[in-house]
Amino acid sequence: MTQERTYLGVPLHKPKVAFFELSSCEGCQLQIVNNEATLLDFLSLVEIVNFREAMTERSNDYEIAFVEGSVTRADEITRLTEIRRNAAVLVALGSCACFGGVNQLKNRFHDIAWVKKEVYGKHPVETEAEAKPLEAFVRVDLKIFGCPIKKEEVEKIVTNVALGRPVQHPKFPVCMECKANENICLFDLGEPCLGPVTRAGCDSWCPNSRMGCWGCRGPADDANVEQLRNIAKKHGISAEAMLDRLECFGGFASHVDEIRGKAKAKKTASAAKGGVNPPSSPLGKGRRR
């Protein structure tokens, strides 16, 4: 007989948990399965009733639903609405669920048929609309950031949920973790990096491997994107290179829209003053500039 889990002598309730995926690579779910060292301890805290990537059993009787992926089709809206109806707590799992993720890059082009043709050629693919995060359609109770998620962070969050403790994400940027890990600043190596403005919690995962942060966890509290652009300019990194990073996962969408809007207004004003038309985008038809 399995020994009952307790916390400070109080029996723990094992919430019924389900994992689901929408438009995604399922890499975030794979992260959970890959955590062999502590997987059994993690599983002892919850009762998993639906997890297509790891088990064949299925049940719609769950309290917590972890949903990976962005919403790109009408049937996904229907499915997500049903999951929300069944779940007491709905968790957006990973950057796609939180912000739209890499999938939302197609939103910069305003012709879905053209995007499908360019990416998939003659192969039929069901993708009907812009990629959007879960909260565009349903209430999201908790977000777990990252692409992929940090499995240690998921375990910590689930432990807090099981124990009824509040979940708090770091408010400071990745730069602080990077400095604590005694990394060389990647700007000094000529590498673009969003560490100064991205929410911490990954233990500076990418900079630890000498790769600049791409902002998959979204903006830290009070992120100063304008100062980030000044830092990049000081180190000879183009504004366009930084904008490409800011656009990648969707977390900085509002900042990007503001920056591009100002740039467009400046070009229009300059063209009107000089009597010439502003140059067209070198990145192809449909790219929002």
**Position 242 pLDDT exceeds 90:** yes
**pLDDT for the residue numbered 120:** 87
Six-digit token string for 180 = 């604590």
**Position 234 pLDDT exceeds 80:** yes
Sorting pLDDT into bands at 50, 70 and 90, what band is 273? confident
**Position 160 pLDDT exceeds 90:** no
**pLDDT for the residue numbered 287:** 40
Q: What is the pLDDT of the chain when averaged over all its residues?
A: 87
- Give residue limits of the domains in the chain: 6-163, 174-274
CA 48 from centroid of its chain's CA atoms: 24
Beta strands in the chain (DSSP E): 6-7, 10-11, 16-21, 47-51, 64-68, 89-93, 142-144
**Position 93 pLDDT exceeds 60:** yes
CATH superfamily entry for domain 6-163 = NADH:ubiquinone oxidoreductase-like, 20kDa subunit (3.40.50.700)
Q: What is the DSSP string of 110-144?
A: S-HHHHHHHHHTTS-----S--B-GGGTS--SEEE
- The tens digit of pLDDT for each residue in 36-57 reads 777 777 777 889 999 998 899 9
Say if CB 81 and CB 138 are below 8 A apart: yes
CA–CA separation, 259 and 242 (whole Å): 11
**Among residues of the chain, what percentage have pLDDT more than 90?**
60
- The tens digit of pLDDT for each residue in 114-124 reads 888 888 888 87
